[in-house]
Amino acid sequence: MLTDSERERYSRQILLFGEEGQERLKSSKVFIAGAGGLGCPAAAYLAAAGVGHLVIADCDSVDRTNLNRQILHYESDIGRPKVVSAREKLLSMNPDIRVEPLAVIISDNNASTLVSGCDLVVDALDTFTDRYALNRAAIRNRIPYIHGAVSGFDGHMATIIPGETACLECMVPEAPPRSVFPVVGTTPGLIGVLQAHEAIKQITGQGEPLTNQLVLWDGKASQFTMIRVERDPDCPACGGDSRASGRRREI
């Protein structure tokens, strides 16, 4: 049930999807993997929208090199855990939500446990090895998974519904080499906001999800391109996995 204060705060959204949609946001639990360039804008907009419970996982501390793009961290936060810094800013934006910080490294060993009980996963990581672990955890738990990645002026994103759509490993079967990549702050800002937008659509049941499509952003040309993708029946993550073909978790 929404309070009078919440009805006022979210009045413009309630005009779009009613109190029922807002209550679905309030009762939802979203796992955000990463509190960096993608995770900061995604978390900020989900907090502002009224997602009731955000779980933010990141093992790093704030570094000065982060500050050109990681908008929840300030100069005064250098050296602090990113999840602590992010939680502080998000609660100052919206004190009515819950933000759960997890200073952990996401891996095959813990990813499934970390996302269990969540309604949606936002992939804001920066290495594909960790992303694959998160992708498989979402498949095991049948949780919608919103992937995003950036480099330089370019980025991409996709919405993955376990058992229904191509998964991350169907789309990117081989992990690119780990490296320190260049990035301008507006690129993860844009992709992170699109991830939050897709999450809000998923939770409220509004619009059509970007399923079986990879959205590419060419920042230098300021152009979006949509690429159709298909589920690979031989995918090591979702192909032939009975757990991936079960009924997806209802938000």
Q: Would you state the pLDDT for residue 181? A: 83
Q: Is the pLDDT of residue 23 over 60?
A: yes
Q: Which two tokens stand for residue 227?
A: 């690429």
Task: Please spell the DSSP secondary structure of 71-99, one letter per residue.
Answer: TT--GGGTTSBHHHHHHHHHHHH-TTSEE
Q: Where do the domains of the chain lie?
A: 15-228
Give the chain's mean pLDDT: 94
Q: Would you state the pLDDT for residue 240? A: 58
In CATH terms, the superfamily for domain 15-228 is NAD(P)-binding Rossmann-like Domain (3.40.50.720)
Q: CA–CA separation, 199 vs 197, rounded Å?
A: 5
Q: Would you state the pLDDT for residue 246? A: 37
Q: pLDDT by residue (tens digit) across 130-145?
A: 999 999 999 999 999 9
* Percentage of the chain modeled with pLDDT above 70: 95
- Give the pLDDT mean for 237-247: 56
Q: Is the pLDDT of residue 25 over 50?
A: yes
Q: Is the pLDDT of residue 224 over 80?
A: yes
Q: Would you state the pLDDT for residue 241? A: 52
Beta strands (DSSP E) in the chain are 29-33, 53-57, 98-102, 120-123, 145-151, 154-160, 213-218, 223-228
Q: CA–CA separation, 82 vs 40, rounded Å?
A: 10
Q: Which two tokens stand for residue 42?
A: 């995604």
Residue of 139, 129, 133 whose CA lies nearest to 108 = 133
